[in-house]
Amino acid sequence: MEKAFLIKYAEIGIKGKNRYMFEDALMKQIRFALEKADGTFEVTKEQGRIYVIPQTEFDPDDAVEAMKKVFGIAGICPVVIVEDEGFEKLKEDVAAYMKERYSDQTATFKVNVRRAKKTYPVSSMDAASDLGERILETLPQLSVDVHHPDVMVNVEIRTKIYIYSEIIPGPGGMPVGTNGKAMLLLSGGIDSPVAGYMIAKRGVKIEAVYFHAPPYTSERAKQKVVDLARLVSRYSGPMRLHIVNFTDIQLYIYDQCPHEELTIIMRRYMMKIAEQIGQKSGCLGLITGESIGQVASQTIQSLAVTNEVCTMPVFRPVIGFDKQEIVDVAQKIDTYDTSIQPYEDCCTIFVAKHPVTKPNLNIIRRSEQKLQEKIDEMLKTAVDQAEVITVS
C-alpha cells in the first residue's frame, strides 16, 4: 500500500481554458510549499485530479501543514494507493485500511465507490455493498449509515485504486499566479501583512515595498519587515521586497510643509512611489492595510486625499475590519508576534501632535507646491535606488 495525498480544489474559476492555468498554478504552489517539508514529493495531475506522491520517507503531518498554506486547496485527503489485483484483493485492502484507522472507534460509515475504469468487472453499487459487508465483518463495532455517515470511505477505481476517508480542510482561495500581480505597501505593523495575505488568497501574486528612513528608523525595524515578508511568503510564494530610502523626502516635507500635514503628504508620496515601482514590475494594483477610522491618516477624508494620487486601483482588504478582527487573522497566519515587536516605523518618528484628520485636497496640494523644486528628482532617486531582495 502506497501512501499519498489527493488534493481537492474548488471548482470556482476552473472552467474551460482557465482550468489548466488554475491546475498548473496550483501544482507549482504545492511544489513550492513542499520544498520546506520533510521528504521529496512528486506532484502530478491525472484525469483531472492532483496527487502528491512521496518519493522518499516523509512526515505526513509536516506535509499536511505545508499544504494547508497553499491557496486553491479545498481539502487534503491522505490516500492509500493499491494495485488492481482483482476484487477479492480489494476487499482485503479496504478491510486492512479500515482496521488500521478505525479499530477503536464506534463510528457509522458509508462506502462510496467511483469507477473511472469502466471495464472493472464489478458495478459501483455492488462493489460498495460488498466492501461495506466486509468492513462490518472486520470491525463489527462500526455500523452503516447511508444518509449521514461519520466516515465516508471513498474507493476510486482507476488504473490504480485509491482509498481515502479523511478530508483535511485547506485554506481555500485561488492559487497564487492566477489573478495577476499587485504591490503591497508593507510596514512593520499588524495590518499590512494581513492585507497582503488576503489579496494573495484571491490568487494575486504580490510584491512588497517598504519605506525605510535611516537613521530615524533602525536596521532592526527593516529586519522586522523582511521577517514579515518572509512569513507572508509562506502563503504567497517567493516575494520581491523593494526597500525605498525615504529619509530625504521625509526631511524635505518636514522642512517645507506644515507639520500637521506631514503624515498625509508623506502618505501621498509613498503611494506615488509604490505605484511607480509597481508599474515597472507589472503590478496592476496597490495593497494597503488601511482600515476606516483606525488612525488620523485613515479617516475617510484622509483616505480620499491619499487615494487621489493613485491611478492604479488600491486594494484595502481590511478596510471594514475592526482591529480585533485584523489581529485574529494576524494570529492565524502567525505574523502577529513579529508585528508587535517594538521597533519604530517611519511614520511614528515625525508625527505631529495634532495631525489634520479632515484634510482638504486643495490645501494639501498648495502645501505640496512648496516641494516643487526638488521633489521630482527625489522621487526618481528613491525609485531608482530602491534595494530589492527576494524573500521566501
Residues that bind ligand ATP (CB under 6 A): 185-187, 189-192, 209-211, 288-290, 294-295, 297-298, 345-347
Which of Mg ion, ligand ATP, none sits in contact with 236, Cβ below 5 to 8 A by type? none
Cell 494576524 sits on residue: 330
Choice between 346 and 378, CB closer to ligand ATP: 346
Instruction: Tell me how far, at minimum, the Cβ of 194 lies from ligand ATP, in Å.
Output: 8
Secondary-structure breakdown of the chain: helix, strand, coil percentages, each rounded to the nearest 5: 45, 20, 35
Measured N-to-C along each axis, helices 372-384 and 247-256 cross at an angle, to the nearest 10 degrees, of 170
Burial of 286 (C-beta count, 10 Å sphere; 0-12/13-18/19+): buried
Which of Mg ion, ligand ATP, none sits in contact with 250, Cβ below 5 to 8 A by type? none
Choice between 276 and 294, CB closer to Mg ion: 294
**Residue among 132, 136, 169 nearest 152 (CA):** 132
Instruction: Tell me how far, at minimum, the Cβ of 209 lies from ligand ATP, in Å.
Output: 6
Instruction: Tell me how far, at minimum, the Cβ of 178 lies from ligand ATP, in Å.
Output: 23
| Inter-residue contact 244 to 386 (CB < 8 Å) | yes
Counting contacts by CB under 5 A, is residue 335 touching Mg ion? no
Which of ligand ATP, Mg ion, none sits in contact with 290, Cβ below 5 to 8 A by type? ligand ATP
Q: Which residues pair with 181 in a beta bridge?
A: 205
Choice between 191 and 275, CB closer to Mg ion: 191
Backbone angles phi, psi at 14, to 5 degrees: -115, 30
Instruction: Tell me how far, at minimum, the Cβ of 191 lies from ligand ATP, in Å.
Output: 3
Counting contacts by CB under 5 A, is residue 278 touching Mg ion? no
Choice between 14 and 347, CB closer to ligand ATP: 347
Q: Name the one range near Mg ion by CB under 5 A: 41-49, 115-123, 179-187, 221-229.
A: 179-187
Cell 494495485 sits on residue: 83
Contact flags string 181-200 toward Mg ion, x per CB under 5 A: ------x-x-----------
Q: Write the DSSP assignment of 53-88 as a string of letters.
A: EESS---HHHHHHHHTT-TTEEEEEEEEEE----HH
Choice between 14 and 241, CB closer to ligand ATP: 241
Backbone angles phi, psi at 277, to 5 degrees: -65, -40
Choice between 153 and 244, CB closer to ligand ATP: 244
Choice between 189 and 359, CB closer to Mg ion: 189
CA dihedral 245, 243, 276, 274 (to 10 degrees): -100
Give, in order, the Cα–Cα distances in Å from 75 to each of 5, 169, 173: 10, 4, 12
Per CB under 5 A, residues contacting Mg ion are: 187, 189
